[in-house]
Amino acid sequence: MALSTERLGLYNPDKPMENRLTDLGPRHFWQYFPPVIQNNYGKWKYHEILEPGILVHVSETGDKVFTIRCGGCRFMTAEHVREICDIADKHCDGFLRFTTRNNIEFMVDSLDKMEALKKDLESRKHVTGSYKFPIGGTGAGVTNIVHTQGYIHCHTPATDASSMVKAVLDDLFDYFQGMTLPAHVRVSMACCLNMCGAVHCSDVALLGYHRKPPIIDNEVLDSLCEIPLVIAACPTAAISPTKTEGGKKSVKIKNERCMFCGNCYTMCMAVPLSDKEGDCVTIMAGGKVSNRISPPKFSKVVIPALPNNFPRFPEVCESVKKIIEAYAADANKYERVGDWAERIGWEKFFEKCDIPFTEHLIDDYRLQYDTYRTSSLFKFTEAAWEVSRAAGGID
Amino acid sequence: MAFEPKEEQTELKYDELRIYSEEELNNYTEEDLKNFKCKHDIPDLDELETGPWPSFVSDAKREALHRRKLADDRMLIERDVVEDMLGQLQLSFDDGETHWKHGGIVGVFGYGGGVIGRYSDLQDKFPSIAHFHTMRVNQPASKFYNTNYLRSLCDLWEYRGSGMMNLHGSTGDIIFLGTFTEQLEPIFYELGHVLQQDLGGSGSNLRTPSCCIGKARCEWSCIDTQDLCYELTHYYQDELHRPAFPYKFKFKFDGCPNCCVASIARADMSYIGTWRDDIRIDQEAVQAYVGGEIEPDGGAHKGKDWGKFDLEKEVINLCPTKCMWMEGSKLMIDNKECTRCMHCINVMPKALRPGVDTGVSILLGAKAPILEGAQMSTLTIPFMKCEPPYDNIKEIIEKIWEWWPEEGKNRERLGELIQRQGITKLLEVLGIPPMPQMVKEPRSNPYIFWKEDDVPGGWDRDINDYRSRHKR
C-alpha cells in the first residue's frame, strides 16, 4: 500500500474510530540490522578504534564490521535524512544507525569499503562550508552534545539549544575529531530546569536558567489555571492565593522564596518567567553516568550565570574551553572531569580553571549540609587567603 | 540467536510507498542553494552557517528551498513552514524569549500521549507555524534503520508536515517537528496502516523505552537489550498510550555498567546488564598488552602520547576494589571482590571479557532536578535472570505500578515517592529483604521508626504498673 496523497488520507473524520489501528508499538529491530550485524549478533569479541570516529568490531566468527561515526545535529530535515540514505544506499547496503548522542553511524564489512565511505563523508559540506558529516566522537575526546529543543519548539526555555550547541561544538571541533583528552568528555545541554535532556550527570552541562520570579497574569489566571495546583506546584511554598483589587481570584508570589524552577509555569500559563535580561546559562561540571572506576556522579554548578549572548554565546564557549583545557593539561589518563576535580580538590578545580568561586555555588537548598566540608583537609588557594585576610588572620 | 518479530511485519519498500518522484526530490541545484534567501531577515542564523560543525541552519535552508520548488498540491501544510520557523527563531534571539505558546491539548483519538500541541504566539507574522505540533514516533530499538523505512518517513512527513525532525529526541523517539491539527489523524493513520508504526509516549505515562546498542555490536552487553526493550514496549502499550500515572515513567536498558544510555541518571527503572561468574581472561592477550602489541582502551587514547602502557599503574592500581594482581606473568582477579566497574575490561578488551552467567541489576528512581533535586537510581535488585518472556521482570514492574499510582502525588516521580515513604516501604511493596548493597553506608542517626511488632511485649503498657515501681 502506497502512502496516501489524499488530504485526510485513510482517516474519515465522520467515523473517527473506523479502521483505527492502535497499540502497534515500534517496528521490530531485527529487520534493520545489516547482515554482518545479524550474523554476528552476540558473538562480538573485541573492538578497536582505528582512528578518531572509526571503529572495527571483530567477531568470534572472524567477521569484522567497520563503523564510521559522524556528528549529526539532532535537528534534521527530510532533505538531510535523504542524503544520509543516499550514503547508506551507496556504501552500506541501505543500513545505518543513530547513537544515543545524536551521532550517525555508517557500517561496512571491509576495510576497502570503509576507505571509500570515509572519503565520501569527508567530501560532503554544506554550501556555506560546514561539514555535513564530520567524523569523530570516539574515545578520549568530546563527542556530540545532546540537547533539548530551545526556541525551535519549546514553551519554557531560558535559552536556545541548537545555536549554543553549534557554537560550542565549532569551538571544540578539534576535540571531537581527536582523542587527546584524559578520558571521555560528555557535554550536554538543557534549556531549562525541566532538563528533558537530563544533563545532570555530564562532564560539562550547559543549562538555561531563569532568574526573575514569574509575572502574574491576573486577568486570566483564575479562568485558565487551577489555583490550588499552582500553589502546590511550588517546591518552596512561595505561592499563595490572593484577590486582585478588582476582586479576581489569583495568586501572589513571595519573591525572596522563588528559586526560579518554573514548575508553576508548567502547571499554569498565566505565570510566565522568561525574560531577556533574567534568563541565563548555568554551567555545571564533573558528572558522569558510567560506573567505571568510580560511581556515577552528579554535575556540580561551577558558573552560576553567563549571559544569553545570541547566537554564539562567546562567554559560554570560552568557559567550556577553559574547563576542558585545564582538565586536559592536568588530569591523569582515564580520569573523568569529576574524578579529577575530586582528586585535586574542588578548590584547585576553581584555581586551575580560573573560575571565580561565588556564594551562589554553595548549596542552600535541601540536604545542603551534605556538601559542607567537615574536615581540616583542604588546600591553600588564593580564595583561602582572602578569607584569612578578611577574618584578620593574616595581613 | 535470532529473534522473531512478534507480529508479521510487511517489508517496507520505498518504491512502492513513495510520494515524491526522483525529479521532485532533486528539484534544486547547489547554485540555487547558494543564492537562497529566507523570506525573513535572519542575520544571527546566517552567522550560524559558518564554522566546521554541521549547521542546522544550512540544513533548514535546504528544506526551505526544496519546499519552495515543490508544486502547490505536493504538500498539505504551508510551504514556507521552515522559513517561518527560522524567522521566529531569529525574533526569539532578538527578544531573548521563546515565542511558543504554553500548551495546547491536541492528540489522536484514544491516545493520551504521542502528540505535543504547540502554537506560535505570533501567528499573524508567522502564519505557517501558527500550529506547530510535534509527533513522537516510537523508534526501533537501538535506532538501526534501513533507507526504505527512513525515506518513507521523510516523504510522509514532508507531505503532511514540515519536513523538520529530530533524530532523535532525548527519550529516544523520532520527533516530527511541526504540523497542523488537521494532519494529526491522517499522519497517525498512515503510520499505522502503511508503515505499521506507532507513536511514542508523552505526558503522565510510560515513556518510550530505549536501550543501548547491546549485543548487536558490542562485546560487553550482558543482556539482549533490544529484545527486552521491544518486549516491554509492546507488552505495556496500554500504559504507554493511556496516561494513568502520577507523572512520567521511564525504562532504559543498558547492556553493561558503562551505561551508554544513561539509564542510571534518566530512568525510573534502570536495567543494567551484569554478570555473577568470573571475568574471562586471555593471558596471552594480557601479555600482548603488556608488551605494547595491542593499544590499550581499544585505541581510545591514540591522540596523545601517554607513554608505554603500564598494566600495574593503568589497570591494577586503578581497580577500585584492588582485587587484581600479577602472579609472574599471570593476571589474577579475585572475582568475589570485584564490583564489575568495567575499567579493566575497557582497557584490555582483547584480554578480558565479562562473565557468561549474565543477568540484570535493577535500580529505581532516577530523575532530573524538578522538583526535589536530581536523583540517580538506587540499587534495588542486585541480579535477576533476564530471559524471554521476562516474566520475573514484569512481576517487579507491576508491583511498582500497583504502589506508585496509588500512593504517588500529582507529578511525583517514583524516586521521590521512594524518598518520601522510604526504602523500607519499597521493600514491603516488592516483597524483598533489605541488603547493605542498597545504601552507600548505614544510617548515622538512630531515629529508627520501630514498629510495634518489632519490639517484645507490645506498646500497650499500664501506667499504674509503671508507678508501682517508680514514684511520681
pLDDT of residue B1 exceeding 60: no
Which residues, in sequence order, are bridge partners of residue A76?
A: B165
Give the containing element (helix H, strand E) for B407: helix B391-407
Instruction: Work out the angle between the directed axes of helices A78-91 and B56-69 (0-180°, nearest 10).
Output: 100
Q: Which amino acid is at B57?
A: V
Distance CA B155, CA B173 (A): 18
Residue carrying C-alpha cell 535477576 = B384
**Residues of chain B positioned with their CB less than 8 A from the CB of A13:** 185
pLDDT of residue A276 exceeding 80: yes
Nearest to A52 by CA among B308, B295, B260, B299: B299
Note the pLDDT tens digit of each residue in B159-212.
999 999 999 999 999 999 999 999 999 999 999 999 999 999 999 999 999 999
**Residues of chain B positioned with their CB less than 8 A from the CB of A265:** 102
**Residue B125 sits at the chain A interface (C-beta within 8 Å):** no
B104 pLDDT band (50/70/90 cuts)?
Answer: confident
B4 pLDDT band (50/70/90 cuts)?
Answer: low
Which member of B5, B241, B259 has the closest CB to residue A291?
Answer: B259
Give the containing element (helix H, strand E) for B130: none
Query: Do residue B371 and residue A235 have CB atoms under 8 angstroms apart?
Result: yes
pTM of the model: 0.96
Residue carrying C-alpha cell 544515543 = A100
Query: Do residue B146 and residue A23 have CB atoms under 8 angstroms apart?
Result: no
Question: What mean pLDDT, rounded, does chain A reach?
Answer: 96
**Residues of chain A positioned with their CB less than 8 A from the CB of B97:** 274-276, 279
Backbone angles phi, psi at B28, to 5 degrees: -150, 160
Which member of A51, A152, A155 has the closest CB to residue B89?
Answer: A152
Q: What is the pLDDT of residue A130?
A: 97
Give the residue from A12, A32, A340, A367 with the most B CB atoms within 10 Å of its CB, the best one to mutate.
A32
pLDDT of residue B8 exceeding 80: no
Q: What are the grid coordinates assigned to A64, written together?
A: 569484522
CA distance A128 to chain B (A): 6
pLDDT of residue A132 exceeding 90: yes
Mean pLDDT of A209-237: 95
**Residues of chain A positioned with their CB less than 8 A from the CB of B195:** 27
pLDDT of residue B220 exceeding 70: yes
Q: What is the pLDDT of residue A393?
A: 96
**Residues of chain B positioned with their CB less than 8 A from the CB of A179:** 299-304
Q: What is the pLDDT of residue B369?
A: 84
**Residue B280 sits at the chain A interface (C-beta within 8 Å):** no
Q: What SS3 state is found at B117? A: coil
pLDDT of residue A367 exceeding 90: no
Question: What mean pLDDT, rounded, does chain B reach?
Answer: 96
**Residues of chain B positioned with their CB less than 8 A from the CB of A4:** 186, 190, 194
Which member of A84, A153, A333 has the closest CB to residue B132?
Answer: A153
CA distance B381 to chain A (A): 17
Note the pLDDT tens digit of each residue in B112-148.
999 999 999 999 999 999 999 999 999 999 999 999 9
B2 pLDDT band (50/70/90 cuts)?
Answer: low
**Residues of chain A positioned with their CB less than 8 A from the CB of B35:** none
End-to-end CA, chain B? 79
pLDDT of residue A198 exceeding 90: no
**Residue B309 sits at the chain A interface (C-beta within 8 Å):** no
Distance CA B87, CA B64 (A): 12
Give the residue from A333, A343, A367 with the most B CB atoms within 10 Å of its CB, the best one to mutate.
A333
**Residues of chain A positioned with their CB less than 8 A from the CB of B85:** 152
Query: Do residue A130 and residue B3 have CB atoms under 8 angstroms apart?
Result: no
Which member of B2, B85, B266 has the closest CB to residue A198?
Answer: B266
Q: What SS3 state is found at B240? A: helix
Residue B196 CB partners (closer than 8 Å, separation 6+): A24, A27, B7, B9, B10
Mean pLDDT of B300-327: 97
Can you say whether residue A160 is alpha, beta or left, with left for phi > 0 and alpha for psi between -120 and 50 degrees? beta
CA dihedral defined by A172, A176, A181, A186, rounded to 10 degrees? 80
**Residues of chain B positioned with their CB less than 8 A from the CB of A134:** 52-54
Which member of A1, A41, A167 has the closest CB to residue B193?
Answer: A1
Please classify residue B382 by burial: count the beta carbons closer than 10 Å to its beta carbon, then call 0-12 exposed, 13-18 middle and 19+ buried: middle
**Residue B443 sits at the chain A interface (C-beta within 8 Å):** no
Query: Do residue A126 and residue B54 have CB atoms under 8 angstroms apart?
Result: yes
**Residue B181 sits at the chain A interface (C-beta within 8 Å):** no
Complex ipTM > 0.90 = yes
CA distance A262 to chain B (A): 9
Note the pLDDT tens digit of each residue in A23-32.
999 999 999 9
Q: What is the 3-state secondary structure (H, E, C) of chain A?
A: CCCCCCCCCCCCCCCCCCCCCCCCCCCCHHHHCCHHHHHCCCCEEEEEEEECCEEEEEECCCCEEEEEEECCCCEEEHHHHHHHHHHHHHHCCCEEEECCCCCEEEEECCHHHHHHHHHHHHHCECCCCCECCCECCCCCCECCCECCCHHHCCCCCCCCCHHHHHHHHHHCHHHHCCCCCCCCECEEEECCCCCCCCCCCCCEEEEEECCCCCCCCCCCHHHHCCHHHHHHHCCCCCEEEEECCCCCEEEEECHHHCCCCCHHHHHCCCCCCCCCCCCEEEEEECCECCCCCCCCECCEEEEEEEECCCCCCHHHHHHHHHHHHHHHHHCCCCCCHHHHHHHHCHHHHHHHHCCCCCHHHCCCCCCHHHHCCCCCCCCCCHHHHHHHHHCCCCC
Mean pLDDT of B376-401: 97
pLDDT of residue A14 exceeding 80: yes
Neighbours of B70 (CB within 10 A): 17
Distance CA B335, CA B353 (A): 13
* Percentage of chain B modeled with pLDDT above 90: 95
Can you say whether residue A178 is alpha, beta or left, with left for phi > 0 and alpha for psi between -120 and 50 degrees? beta
**Residues of chain A positioned with their CB less than 8 A from the CB of B100:** 151, 153-155
CA distance A382 to chain B (A): 31
Which member of B165, B189, B216 has the closest CB to residue A9?
Answer: B189
Distance CA A86, CA A348 (A): 50
Which member of B145, B219, B265 has the closest CB to residue A97?
Answer: B145
Give the residue from B1, B70, B217 with the most A CB atoms within 10 Å of its CB, the best one to mutate.
B217
**Residues of chain A positioned with their CB less than 8 A from the CB of B315:** none
Note the pLDDT tens digit of each residue in B418-450.
999 999 999 999 999 999 999 999 999 999 999
* Percentage of chain B modeled with pLDDT above 70: 99
pLDDT of residue A45 exceeding 70: yes
pLDDT of residue B325 exceeding 80: yes
A159 pLDDT band (50/70/90 cuts)?
Answer: very high
Beta-strand ranges (E) seen in B265-406 are: 269-275, 280-281, 324-327, 330-333, 352-353, 358-364, 378-384
Mean pLDDT of A117-139: 97
B224 pLDDT band (50/70/90 cuts)?
Answer: very high
Residue B116 CB partners (closer than 8 Å, separation 6+): B104, B133, B134, B135, B136, B202
Residue carrying C-alpha cell 567537615 = A374
Q: Are residues A141 and A184 in contact, defined by beta-carbon separation less than 8 angstroms?
A: yes
Query: Do residue B167 and residue A98 have CB atoms under 8 angstroms apart?
Result: yes
CA distance B364 to chain A (A): 14
pLDDT of residue B3 exceeding 70: no
Mean pLDDT of A150-167: 97
Interface of B with A in 69-98 (CB under 8 A): 76, 82, 85, 88-89, 92-93, 95-98
Give the residue from A180, A196, A267, A292 with the most B CB atoms within 10 Å of its CB, the best one to mutate.
A292
Q: What is the pLDDT of residue B312?
A: 97
**Residue B251 sits at the chain A interface (C-beta within 8 Å):** no
Note the pLDDT tens digit of each residue in A82-108.
999 999 999 999 999 999 999 999 999
**Residues of chain B positioned with their CB less than 8 A from the CB of A175:** none
Q: Are residues B288 and B350 in contact, defined by beta-carbon separation less than 8 angstroms?
A: yes
Mean pLDDT of B340-344: 98
**Residues of chain A positioned with their CB less than 8 A from the CB of B141:** 26, 29
